[in-house]
């Protein structure tokens, strides 16, 4: 028994914000951003929220999979930017789509969130507990950015992606995931500060901090190693893989991973040019884009890989 992706969906906010738009409100330029990251524009929320985009992405994935919400046993959302501390985004999705029989919860693994959700569903399937699941990666990163910090805020965007999973004969062939909490502070966003009758903190808001160069070093070493591990486990080589759908952090990271794996960059589809970095949303949104373009055919082998804050990483090789 394996975990197969049988449908995908995604939802981006309506409003496009280009690098030139940003250069009108901060000291930056299209040249600086696009040459270092490959990002040309991103979508930012106005009225949309993490839950509203997740609900729409979930509906589109169910339609693509031709599966009823009533058939869903499990909903897992990878997110660090839910609308509420509680209820979870997964519970909001469950209520909105009417997946009454599903168990629903979120996972916090930042840019690896979708991959961790996928692997958790796979473990439930392998244990024989559930057979049909909806997994999502969704973020409203713009609300945890310091819009006065040009070195981070220009990198990120908002959006949600979803996949419907079913226990079938083929699907995930091998999986690798890992965490390195010791390096957690290179990419961090603090939660609320202590606040009770004993401790009174100023009610300041907390924003994302990133040591970009440390994150770059982590990504370009860990991701190729993780991908090689899943390929070895599946008994495949890089030549057997049709596409490498990586977390969309930065074009330089993707180019470096391609070089280290000795694979043509043509096998690495890109959405960061028009989406920016959507953390947990990146991999499922990219997967939905290439699926809807008709690029995925039954039997193709695809590597998915997410990596980011925690630090965390997760890779899978799947048969489509």
Residues with a catalytic annotation lie at 111, 247, 277
Of residues 226 through 255, those in contact with ligand ACO by CB under 6 A are 249-250, 252
Q: Which of residues 137-176 bind ligand ACO (CB under 6 A)?
A: 150-151, 154-155
CB of 58 to ligand ACO, least distance (A): 23
Output the smallest distance, CB 39 to ligand ACO, in A. Answer: 9
Count of C-beta atoms within a 10 Å radius of residue 66: 9
Instruction: Quote the CA–CA distance of 259 and 7 in Å, as a whole number.
Output: 31
Q: Report how far residue 93's alpha carbon sits from residue 234's, in angstroms, rounded to the nearest whole number.
A: 34
Q: How far does Cα 296 stand from its chain's mean position?
A: 19
Show the site string, 103-142: x = touches ligand ACO by CB under 6 A, - = not: --------x-------------------------------
* Residue 29 or 228 having the CB closest to ligand ACO: 29
65 is an interface residue for ligand ACO by CB under 6 A: no
CB of 56 to ligand ACO, least distance (A): 23
Instruction: Tell me how far, at minimum, the Cβ of 277 lies from ligand ACO, in Å.
Output: 5
Q: Per-residue string for binding with ligand ACO, 255-284, x by CB under 6 A?
A: ----------------------x-------
Nearer of residues 219 and 275 to ligand ACO, judged by Cβ: 219
User: String of b and e for 211-247 (b: at least 16 CB within 10 Å)?
Assistant: ebeebeebbbebbbebbbbbbeebebebeebebbbbb
Residues 194-223 that bind ligand ACO (CB under 6 A): 210, 212-213, 215-216, 219
Q: Which helix (H) or strand (E) holds 4?
A: strand 2-11
Cα angle, residue 33 at apex, residues 114 and 245 outer, rounded to 5°: 30
- Name the residue nearer to ligand ACO (CB basis): 34 or 170: 34
Q: What's the rounded Cα separation, in Å, for the pair 232 and 236?
A: 6
Q: Nearest-CA neighbor of 3 among 229, 233, 174?
A: 174
3-state secondary structure at position 228: helix
Rg (CA), the chain: 19
Q: What's the min distance (Å) between Cβ of 141 and ligand ACO?
A: 9
Give the binding site for ligand ACO (CB under 6 A): 28, 32-33, 36-37, 111, 150-151, 154-155, 187, 210, 212-213, 215-216, 219, 249-250, 252, 277, 307-308
């Amino acid at each position: 028994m394996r975990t197969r992706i049988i449908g995908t969906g995604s939802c981006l906010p309506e409003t496009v914000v280009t690098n030139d738009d940003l250069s009108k409100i901060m000291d930056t330029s299209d040249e600086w951003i696009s040459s270092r990251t490959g990002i040309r524009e991103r979508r930012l929320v106005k009225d949309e929220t993490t839950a509203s985009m997740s609900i729409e992405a979930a509906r589109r994935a169910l339609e693509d999979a031709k599966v009823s919400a009533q058939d869903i046993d499990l909903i897992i959302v990878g997110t660090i930017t839910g609308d509420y501390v509680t209820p979870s985004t997964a519970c909001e999705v469950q209520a909105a789509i009417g997946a009454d029989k599903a168990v629903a919860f979120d996972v916090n693994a930042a840019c690896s969130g979708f991959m961790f959700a996928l692997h958790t569903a796979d473990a439930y399937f392998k244990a024989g507990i559930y057979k049909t699941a909806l997994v999502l990666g969704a973020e409203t990163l713009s609300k945890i950015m310091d819009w006065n910090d040009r070195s981070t805020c220009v990198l990120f965007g908002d959006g949600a992606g979803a996949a419907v999973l079913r226990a079938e004969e083929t699907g995930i062939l091998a999986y690798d995931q890992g965490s390195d909490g010791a390096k957690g502070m290179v990419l961090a966003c603090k939660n609320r500060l202590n606040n009770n009758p004993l401790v009174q903190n100023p009610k300041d808001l907390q924003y994302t901090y990133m040591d970009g160069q440390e994150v770059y070093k982590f990504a370009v070493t860990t991701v190729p190693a993780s991908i090689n591990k899943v390929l070895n486990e599946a008994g495949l080589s890089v030549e057997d893989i049709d596409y490498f759908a990586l977390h969309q952090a930065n074009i330089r990271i993707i180019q470096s991973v391609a070089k280290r794996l000795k694979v043509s960059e043509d096998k690495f589809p890109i959405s960061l040019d028009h989406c920016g970095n959507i953390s947990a949303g990146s991999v499922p949104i990219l997967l939905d884009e290439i699926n809807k373009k008709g690029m995925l055919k039954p039997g193709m082998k695809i590597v998915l890989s997410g990596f980011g804050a925690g630090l965390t990483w997760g890779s899978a090789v799947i048969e489509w």
